[in-house]
Amino acid sequence: MTSDVISLITQDHREVEALFERLRSGQGDQAATAAELHALLTAHSRAEEDRVYPQLDAHHGVEEHKEAEVLLDSLVRAEPGSAEFRQTLQQLEDAVTHHVKEEEDELLPQLTESATPERLRELGQAFKQRRDEELRALTVTGETKAELYEQAQRADIPGRSRMDKQELRDALRQAGT
């Protein structure tokens, strides 16, 4: 398996495209697939921002990641099959497709030209480590942030939309749920 940063990022892009296809086609458990997409895209984005973007002038990419995170949160909260779910999925897919094309056509070739093969492998290792850390954090105890958010919503916990995963877990514990 190739471990340079370019290969790892593009592999994630293909996996995200497959998840979009599964969601569009209605195959399987839509809520679980949306949660899987949420975890992968969030972990991927954070790893890019922390380990790859500092090597490039990629401020625009960070803005696109923030837009995608807002849409991801909306998607996992929407009822699968509903008009809101389909509309949010389409907006998210459009935004991510644009971002992926920009990355693969501009940023990654720029990185390939400016870094040695050894540096690309080092960045790949750093990217993978950071992405895997985030994936573990997002799925610790088998609960995704989206699942915790839904529990907090049912418990009517104020400020839940601004909480991270640990804060949601703590607030739920304090609320006795």
User: 175 or 42: whose pLDDT is higher?
Assistant: 42
Q: Model-level pTM?
A: 0.78
Tell me the pLDDT tens digit for each residue of 66-100: 999 999 999 999 999 999 999 999 999 999 999 99
Closest by alpha carbon to 96, among 11, 4, 20? 20
Tell me the pLDDT tens digit for each residue of 101-122: 999 999 999 999 999 999 999 9
**What local confidence, expressed as pLDDT, does residue 17 receive?**
97
- pLDDT-derived band of residue 140, with 50, 70 and 90 as boundaries? low
Residues 6+ apart with CB under 8 A from 154: 177
Residues 6+ apart with CB under 8 A from 143: 169
